[in-house]
Structure 1
Amino acid sequence: MILTVTPNPSLDRTYEVPALERGEVLRATGERVDPGGKGVNVSRAVAAAGHRTLAVAPLGGAPGALVAELLAGQGIDVAPVPIGGHTRSNIAVAEPDGTLTKINAPGPHLTPGESEALLAAVGAHAAGADWVACCGSLPGGLAPTWYADLVTRAHGHGSRTALDTSGPSLLVALRGRPDVVKPNARELAEAVGRPLATVGDAVEAAEELRAAGAGAVLASLGADGQLLVSADGVWYGNAAVASVRSDVGAGDASLAGFLAAGGEGPAALAAAVAHGAAAVQLPGSQMPTPAHLNPSAVTVTTDIPLDRALTE
């Protein structure tokens, strides 16, 4: 069972338009409303793959109630933590060429009591979880050390931890020795404090995160594939994608595929790549089902293209 923690969930509205024209009245050709936030998306992808999951999230107001309702409608167990503020609402505008414009609201400010209630909710359910996936930005009221506390508590309950966040909260949480961290190329560069020009640069940066405390690094490099760097070796995975419809939640789908496939080794990396490639070809933040996956299009190798330039 995979338990997900989303400190700053959202209600996500995605509109598809022929073109984004600033200052004009636009007619959408498609619309989706999805429960959102990185951990929530991981739970949605895990459930879509037919595995057990529980989503822990602070939820408040009408948007929070709708998030819980939408998750339950997808067969996902939810452990909501009531808060006084309102769950944020985000908007994404998708164009036919794959260009995506996103407006993310800041989210509510959690009180010290709500922060502790969220940690307590994780503790109440972590003992039955194989993985605790800690994902997304921290809302106001949560210190950068919050994820570090969560990782330590999850380990205390015998669960492995996967961390998908960025900035100071990522660097501080490394002290708790999360089993897997999942940065994208930008977040990886930010973590090591320098730009990354090649896949080889990304490998070196991932090794630095391992030296700082991460058990393994699953790095999403966008169109340039994915890396898995662990104590057992380094693997590179990629898959051809005919067209990109929306990349919202693609990294979350990748993490879900990785954890559902065991969370270690080349087979799990192949599952991550397959899920990410399927997700970008779906509208909005729709998560792929097994029917959307194309494992035969995935290649995983230890022959790392170190000199390959990163395009994103």
Structure 2
Amino acid sequence: MITVAGFNTAIDRLIHIDTLTPGDVHRVREEKVYPGGKGVHVAQTIAALGEKVQLIGLVDATHRDFIARRMRERGVAFQGVMVGSELRQCFALKEKSGRMTEILGQGPQLSEAEGEALLAAFRQSVENSELVILSGSLPRGLPDTTYAELVDYVNSRGKRCLVDASGAALRHAIDAKPYLVKPNRDEVSDLVGNPVIDMQAAEAAAIALRERGIAMPVVTMGELGAVAAGDAGVWHAQLSPEHVRNAVGSGDCFLAGTAVALQRHMSLAQALRMAVACGVANAQSEETGFAESSVVESLLPTVHVQRIRPALGAQVGSSQ
């Protein structure tokens, strides 16, 4: 079982318009609504790839049945913790040109009791899990150290913990030494204090994160691909999609592919191949944050993977 902590559940709205012009009135050509948030994207893609997955997140009275029904249809065991105020709303505005603009809502301010209920549900779920993922932003009301505390908890149970976060939450989590972190280009630039604009810089950043105790740091660089560091060295994988319909959520699908590969005890190179195929599969589909298994399978042979640095040597807690 893989557990996903996608605490800050959202309602995603994909809105099609002609051209976004600030200050103008826009008419919507088409609108689609999905349960969202990074954790939802990760969990439903893991399920699509055939692994058992449970998701811990927030629900409100308005959207409880909608989210539960979609997760049930997608094969995700969903445990929703009720909050008294509405979930956050996230908007993706897609123009005819294909350009996408995202507007991400804040979400509810958790009471102390709501926060405790969410964390208690998470801790209970860890007991029957082999792999644990902390994904996305923290709901307001939870401190920036929350992920670090949860990494410590997962580590104490002898489980591997994967973290996809940003800002202070990510910095604190790294100090707790999760098995994997997956910063993107902007996030890793913030971590190292310098712009990471090419693969050489991404490689250096991945190695620096490994030296801080992360067994498998992964840095995603958009169209340049991704690098991952482990005992087997540093590997680069890349696949340019033939067409991009909606790239929002591709990083989440990338993480889902990584988690599935780890659950299946694949090598570092195989894990990176699976991850990139999942990210591209999402970019080529209309829905936000979902990779279909058949599309992933068709893309796997086309992902270019190469080792760019030889074996780095084993680390405590590493199995790569």
Task: Give TM-score scaled by structure 2 length.
Answer: 0.90
Find 1:290's aligned residue among 290, 293, 304: 293
Structural mapping, 1:11-30, within 5 Å: 11-22=11-22, 23-28=24-29, 30=30
User: What is the distance in 1 between the residues matched to 2:32 and 2:16?
Assistant: 9
Q: 1:280 aligns with which of 272, 280, 283?
A: 283
Pairwise mapping of residues 225-244 of structure 1 onto structure 2 (< 5 A)?
225-244=225-244
Alignment of 1:83-232 (within 5 A): 83-232=83-232
Which piece of structure 1 moves more, 250-259 or 226-235?
Answer: 226-235
Which residue in the other structure is 2:317 paired with?
Answer: none
Aligned-residue offset at 1:68: 2.6
Q: Say whether 1:10 aligns with 2:10.
A: yes
Write the distance in 1 (CA, Å) between the matches of 2:224 and 2:290.
Answer: 21
1:20–1:26 CA contact under 8 A, matched in 2: no
Q: Which amino acid aligns with 1:276?
A: G
Superposed displacement of residue 154, structure 1: 1.6
Q: How far off its partner does 1:65 sit?
A: 4.2
The answer to whether the 8 Å contact 1:5/1:40 transfers is no
C-alpha deviation, 1:149, in angstroms = 0.9
Check the 8 A contact 1:184/1:220 in 2, yes or no: yes
Residue 301 of structure 1 pairs with residue 289 of structure 2? no
Q: 1:301 to 1:236 in 2, by over 3 A?
A: same
Aligned AA for 1:59? V
Whether the 8 Å contact between 2:4 and 2:43 is mirrored in structure 1 is: yes
SS in 1 for 2:69: helix
Is contact 2:17-2:26 (8 Å) kept?
Answer: no
Q: Aligned letter for 1:269?
A: L
The whole-number CA distance in structure 1 between the counterparts of 2:288 and 2:255 is 14
State the Cα deviation string for residues 282-301 of structure 1 (Å, max 9, x = none). Answer: 11305111211211210100
Contact 2:261 2:271 in 1 (8 A): yes
Mapped partners of 1:65, 1:183: distance in 2:
33
Partner amino acid, structure 1, of 2:26 = V
Work out whether residues 9 and 36 of structure 2, in 8 Å CA contact, stay in contact via their aligned partners in 1. Answer: yes
Q: Is it true that 1:63 corresponds to 2:66 in the alignment?
A: no
Q: What amino acid maps onto 1:295 in structure 2? A: L
What runs of 5+ residues in structure 1 fail to find an aligned partner? 305-312
Offset, 1:64: 4.3
Calculate the aligned-residue CA RMSD, in Å: 1.7
What is the letter of the counterpart of residue 178 of structure 1? P
Q: Which moved more, 1:60-69 or 1:8-17?
A: 60-69
SS of equivalent to 1:213 = coil
Distance across 2 between alignment mates of 1:202 and 1:25: 39
Deviations, residues 239-271 of structure 1 (Å, cap 9, x unaligned): 121121111110000110111112651101000
Inter-partner Cα distance in structure 1 for 2:18 and 2:109: 36
SS in 1 for 2:63: helix
Say if 2:62 is the partner of 1:74.
no
Give the equivalent residue in structure 2 for 1:270: 273
Q: Distance in 2 between matches of 1:216 and 1:3?
A: 18
Whole-angstrom distance in 1 between the partners of 2:33 and 2:187: 27
Asked whether the 8 Å contact 1:15–1:92 carries over to 2, the reply is yes
Q: Which residue matches 1:308?
A: none
Worse overlay, 17-26 or 273-282: 17-26
Partner of 1:41, secondary structure, is helix
Q: Secondary structure at the match of 1:61?
A: coil
- Number of residue-to-residue matches in the alignment: 303
Name the SS for the 1:154 alignment partner. helix
In the alignment, residue 236 of structure 2 is paired with which amino acid? Y
C-alpha displacement of 1:209: 2.0
What are the superposed Cα offsets for residues 136-173 of structure 1, whole Å, 9 maximum, x if unpaired? 11121111110011111122233211000011111111
CA contact (8 A) 2:171 2:191 kept: yes
- Structure 2's unaligned 5+ residue stretches are 310-320
Matched position secondary structure for 2:308:
coil
Tell me the distance in 1 between the aligned counterparts of 2:224 and 2:194: 19
Rounded to whole Å, the distance in 2 between the matches of 1:164 and 1:193 is: 19
TM-score w.r.t. the length of structure 1 is 0.92
